[in-house]
């Protein structure tokens, strides 16, 4: 058989499997996506979305970390390319890939695959620079969710580039789930509506004091200050704090708003009328929830309200720590649990839970719009942060969109109040007082 015939049929040297044949084997013979490889082999429908494996190093990544992590390493490093989708929004390909089932071949077939790949592909090579160390290596930097390690994790994710975030997030500079008033609402309208919802749930009035922990670029801080609320925000990200404080000054809100760079646990003031926590709980560690809710309760006056807004799992049974791509490339040390655990810990800290709701579909729409922004500003984003990092963000946001659509993750808002310990000291309407 000639070389060209081998390429057309997806074969290599006699007795060895081609890369396309190996893929067919681990997928049980069903390859709904198009796959081509540098050895000349190919499989799957020619007009389908798919992957192009470009280099031998890419094979090593796939062989030494089978599954999600190997694919990500090969893709981010440029050894694997996607075709039929934009790297800023690979959602259609991820949706198709989600339906693919990987099977473990019998031992004899597995041995044949290893022999066909060659032992050189079983020796790990360094991962792309965007990947952080595994959890056991991070332990050398301090205990999980120690102050130092939390600061490192926050910096990895949020101190990418304010300019990059502005292209992805849009004018609101809001990196949390929006709340779409209608299906046709813009991202900006939906983010404004989310802040309106939080503001109304907290029953804030001019002259009130608000503490916003994990305040990001200060969107909630400035929204409340524009309405006469004296607001203090705090974030562990130095770049966020600098940007947010500049925005406060630019809007002339210095007398009402302040954004601090630091740990929320360093806030010494008490007697706040309300506390908002929008997107912080995912970072603090489930084991720290008791102290977290006790601390927030201690900063409230009796009758003060807390709004906790965070990503959750759809149940309270599975492991809390994130793994694989998310842990190594996006949110190091991130942890999520179910809304039931959130409510339990808030109650056990002495807060009375008044209301909770799931905004899961809204986060899928938010991620859709963030990906659209990244596609629109792709060239500028690559110039700002590099191709590898831009790829990580496109992959992460598109994959997260799929996760929210498939109910792998959810987004819950929990509203609670600090009573006097006996159910008193609270003056609230009998029914919800905010507009949905």
* Model pLDDT for residues 303-349, shown as the tens digit of each residue: 999 999 999 999 998 777 777 898 889 888 788 999 999 999 999 99
59-68, 124-133, 228-237 — which one is most confidently predicted on average?
228-237
- Please compute the mean of the pLDDT values over residues 225-231 and round it to a whole number: 98
CA terminus-to-terminus distance, the chain = 68
**Location of each CATH 3.40.50.150 domain in the chain:** 148-418
- What does the angle CA 384 – CA 59 – CA 69 come to, to the nearest 5 degrees? 60
Given a cut of 80, whether residue 286 has pLDDT beyond it is yes
CA distance 279 to 176: 6
Per-residue confidence (pLDDT) for residue 8, from 0 to 100: 40
Sign of CA dihedral 291, 346, 178, 409: positive
Using pLDDT thresholds of 50, 70 and 90, give the confidence band for residue 3. very low
Q: What is the pLDDT of residue 1?
A: 35
Q: Which CATH architecture has domain 148-418?
A: 3-Layer(aba) Sandwich (3.40)
- Burial of 23 (C-beta count, 10 Å sphere; 0-12/13-18/19+): buried
Q: Which residues contact 419 (CB under 8 A, 6 or more apart)?
A: 302, 303, 350, 352, 425, 426
Q: What is the mean pLDDT of residues 97-120?
A: 88
Task: Provide mean pLDDT across the span 122-133.
Answer: 90
Q: Tell me the C-alpha distance between 336 and 377, whole Å.
A: 31
Q: Can you give the pLDDT at residue 134?
A: 74
With bands split at pLDDT 50, 70 and 90, how would you rate the model's confidence at 4? very low
pLDDT, tens digit, for every residue of 43-87?
999 999 999 999 999 999 999 998 889 999 999 999 999 999 999
pLDDT averaged over every residue in the chain? 90
Each residue's pLDDT tens digit, 237-269 = 999 999 999 999 999 999 999 999 999 999 999
């Amino acid at each position: 058989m000639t070389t060209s015939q081998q390429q057309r049929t997806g074969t290599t040297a006699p007795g060895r499997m081609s890369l396309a044949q190996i893929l067919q084997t681990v997928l049980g013979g069903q390859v709904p996506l198009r796959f081509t490889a540098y050895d000349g082999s190919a499989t799957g429908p020619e007009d389908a979305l798919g992957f192009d494996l470009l280099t031998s190093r890419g094979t090593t990544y796939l062989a030494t970390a089978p599954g999600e992590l190997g694919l990500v390493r090969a893709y981010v490093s440029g050894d694997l390319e996607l075709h039929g989708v934009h790297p800023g929004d690979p959602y259609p390909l991820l949706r198709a890939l989600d339906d693919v089932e990987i099977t473990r071949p019998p031992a004899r077939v597995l041995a044949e695959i290893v022999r066909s790949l060659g032992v050189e592909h079983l020796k790990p090579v360094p991962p792309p620079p965007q990947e952080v160390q595994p959890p056991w290596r991070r332990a050398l930097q301090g205990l999980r969710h120690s102050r130092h390690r939390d600061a490192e994790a926050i910096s990895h994710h949020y101190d990418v580039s304010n300019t990059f975030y502005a292209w992805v997030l849009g004018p609101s500079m809001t990196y949390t789930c929006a709340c779409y008033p209608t299906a046709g609402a813009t991202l900006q309208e939906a983010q404004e509506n989310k802040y309106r919802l939080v503001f109304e749930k907290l029953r804030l009035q001019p002259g009130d004091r608000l503490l916003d922990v994990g305040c990001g670029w200060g969107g909630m801080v400035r929204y409340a200050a524009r309405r006469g609320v004296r607001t203090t925000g705090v974030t562990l990200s130095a770049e966020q704090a600098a940007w947010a404080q500049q925005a406060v000054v630019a809007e002339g809100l210095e007398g009402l708003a302040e954004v601090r760079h630091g740990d929320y646990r360093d806030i010494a003031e008490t007697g706040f009328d309300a506390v908002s926590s929008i997107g912080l709980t995912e970072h603090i560690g489930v084991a720290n929830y008791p102290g977290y809710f006790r601390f927030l309760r201690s900063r409230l006056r009796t009758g003060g309200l807390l709004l906790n807004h965070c990503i959750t799992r759809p149940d309270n049974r599975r492991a809390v720590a994130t793994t694989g791509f998310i842990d190594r490339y996006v949110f190091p040390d991130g942890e999520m649990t179910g809304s039931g655990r959130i409510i339990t810990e808030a109650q056990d800290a002495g807060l009375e839970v008044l209301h909770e709701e799931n905004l899961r579909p809204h986060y899928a729409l938010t991620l859709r719009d963030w990906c659209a922004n990244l596609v629109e500003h792709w060239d500028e984003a690559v110039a700002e942060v590099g191709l590898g990092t831009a790829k990580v963000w496109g992959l992460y946001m598109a994959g997260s969109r799929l996760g929210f659509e498939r109910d792998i993750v959810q987004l819950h808002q929990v509203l609670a109040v600090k009573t006097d310990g006996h159910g008193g000291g609270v003056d609230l309407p009998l029914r919800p007082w905010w507009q949905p």
